[in-house]
């Protein structure tokens, strides 16, 4: 029984590795571009911890495949647009409080 479980886990691990390899090769999922943590840290000029905070607060949706975290381009663009809209709606007094 334990051997069957080990074989199943090994098979699942191989499949996840294969999926991750394919995604990394094309950086696409259902035709949409995927970004990983490093991509977003560079693109948004954020630290890894700041990116983690955005995920934890539910501000930036993400996908996890194996141990790797990915972000859909549409979610990233929505986050950026929300940030732009938020800055446009803040008055000068509000900006000072931030």
pTM: 0.63
- C-alpha span between 90 and 72 (Å, rounded): 28
Number of domains in the chain: 1
pLDDT in tens, the chain (98 residues): 667 777 888 888 887 777 776 666 567 677 788 899 998 999 999 999 999 999 999 999 999 988 889 999 999 999 999 988 887 776 555 445 44
List the structure tokens of 52.
Answer: 């983690």
**1 is written with which tokens?**
């029984």
In a domain, 72, yes or no: yes
The residues near 80 (Cβ < 8 Å, ≥ 6 apart) are 44
Say how far apart CA 3 and CA 20 lie, in whole Å: 26
Contact 23, 16 (CB under 8 A): no
- Which residues lie across from 64 on neighbouring strands? 69
Write down the pLDDT at residue 68: 87
* Residue 98, domain member (yes or no): no
Specify if 69 maps to a domain. yes
Question: What is the residue range of 48's domain?
Answer: 2-91
């Amino acid at each position: 029984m334990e051997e069957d479980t080990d074989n199943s886990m090994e098979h699942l691990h191989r499949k996840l590795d294969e999926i991750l390899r394919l995604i990394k090769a094309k950086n696409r999922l259902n035709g949409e571009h995927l970004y990983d943590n490093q991509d977003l840290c560079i693109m948004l000029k954020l630290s890894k911890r700041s990116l983690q905070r955005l995920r934890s607060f539910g501000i930036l949706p993400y996908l996890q495949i194996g141990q790797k975290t990915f972000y859909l381009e549409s979610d990233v663009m929505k986050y950026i647009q929300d940030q732009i809209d938020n800055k446009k709606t803040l008055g000068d007094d509000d900006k000072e409080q931030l």
